[in-house]
Amino acid sequence: MHRLLYILLAFYLLSCGQDGNVENNVEQVVETDSTSTEREKEFKAINEMIKADINNSAWYLKRANLYVKYNEMDLAIKDVDRAISIDSLVPDFYLLKAELLKKQDKFKQAKNVLDQCMMVDNNNVEARVELGYLALIVKDYKQAMEYADAALKRNVHYAEAYYLKGMIFQEKKDTVLALSSYNTAIEQENDYYEAYIALGILNMNRDLNLAKGYLQNAIRIQPESLEALYAYGMACQENGDYNEAIETYHKILSISEYREPYFNLGYIHQEYLKVYDVAIEWYTKAIELEPKYEDAYYNRGLCYEQLDMKNEAIADFKYALQLNPQYTNAALALGRVLKQ
């Protein structure tokens, strides 16, 4: 969700120790193999801090952050519980615990923790929005909207509540109200990355230039977001801005290699630019990354067909059918080439 886990951890890292009691048995680092030297050093350092100041919630949150880094959510939650036992009146502790439970798909437990947060701070708008997200997961749109509206009654400028409403309307296929809610979210918070992404994608079938504008804002906020860059590349491609799309796909591949940008580069050179030999090169790169990429074999086969390379086309169509015997277009293309 929009709230960042690490903001809370960084904030409490700077806090002073709290009065209170916590179990004296400080949890040691779990066993690691010989390749985990860096991990062992990190945990050794924080464990020493905890031993020196056992009633300081900040150190338990810092260690929880480490457990999250190594995808050990149960241990992270235990450390958040220790922080709560030191100071049970900090709403952010409960919000963090609920977020960690959500990462494990433990939605019922997350709801219980958020209810506890509400008991600590009945005016907490963030807890209400998080409860709204949980209601949305189970498609209880009425309850989700009630939580969003309740948050806005307490803070009319709370951007994430508008974003939640946008998600609810989008789930209900009410595009007009979804767009309105997402726009209100960015009016309240100009750098709301998720809202720009949502607006860009929703406008892909409505106004491609508008979609590009929203996605450019998303890229402005997160310049190396593969999600934003890929959506922007697709918007450029659909809008006929092929050079811009090609440049965007190359930027994606400079950050991280995956099959879709290679495939799209092949498609642009095949379908729009009619440069079949170049398209073949891009499809081949996609296949090298994903050897069972049936669409890449089919499209590469079409390019071979255009270049009158029948044997290569037949081989690709056959392999696409081997991967997916129900691939109708590949079967038709194979029949067509064989008749020639």
* Placement of tokens 């392999």 in the chain: 319
For the cut 60, the answer to whether the pLDDT of residue 242 exceeds it is yes
Closest CA to 162 of 136, 187, 191: 187
Question: Cβ distance 236 to 212 under 8 Å?
Answer: yes
Dump pLDDT digits (tens) for 126-183: 999 999 999 999 999 999 999 999 999 999 999 999 999 999 999 999 999 999 999 9
> Rounded to an integer, what distance in angstroms lies between the CA atom of residue 33 and that of residue 178?
49
Whether 223 has a pLDDT exceeding 90, the answer reads: yes
Q: One-letter amino acid identity for 146? A: E
CA-to-CA distance for 269 and 91, rounded, in angstroms?
54
Q: Do 1-18+38-122 and 190-256 come out as alike in CATH topology?
A: yes
Amino acid at 117: C
pLDDT of residue 295: 98
Predicted local confidence at residue 43, as pLDDT: 92
Q: Using one digit for the tens of pLDDT, what is the confidence trace for 116-137?
A: 999 999 999 999 999 999 999 9
- Compute the distance between CA of residue 295 and CA of residue 282 in angstroms, rounded to an integer: 13
Q: CA neighbours within 13 Å on the CB side: how many for 27?
A: 19
User: What does the alpha-carbon distance between residue 282 and residue 269 come to, in Å, rounded to a whole number?
Assistant: 9
How high does pLDDT run on average in the chain? 90
pLDDT at 29: 39
Distance (Å, rounded) from C-alpha 217 to C-alpha 229? 11
Sign of CA dihedral 279, 280, 285, 286: positive
pLDDT of residue 38: 86
Domain range summary for the chain, segments of one domain joined by +: 1-18+38-122, 190-256, 276-340
- Please give the CATH superfamily to which domain 190-256 belongs: Tetratricopeptide repeat domain (1.25.40.10)
Whole-angstrom CA distances from 239 to 235, 243, 263 are 6, 11, 18
The C-alpha atoms of residue 254 and residue 226 are separated, in whole angstroms, by 11
3-state helix, strand, coil in the chain (%, to 5): 75, 0, 25
Query: Residue 13's CB: how many other CB atoms inside 10 A?
Result: 14
| CATH number belonging to domain 1-18+38-122 | 1.25.40.10
What pLDDT was estimated at residue 34?
Answer: 41
Name the CATH superfamily housing domain 276-340. Answer: Tetratricopeptide repeat domain (1.25.40.10)
- Higher pLDDT pick, 12 / 158: 158
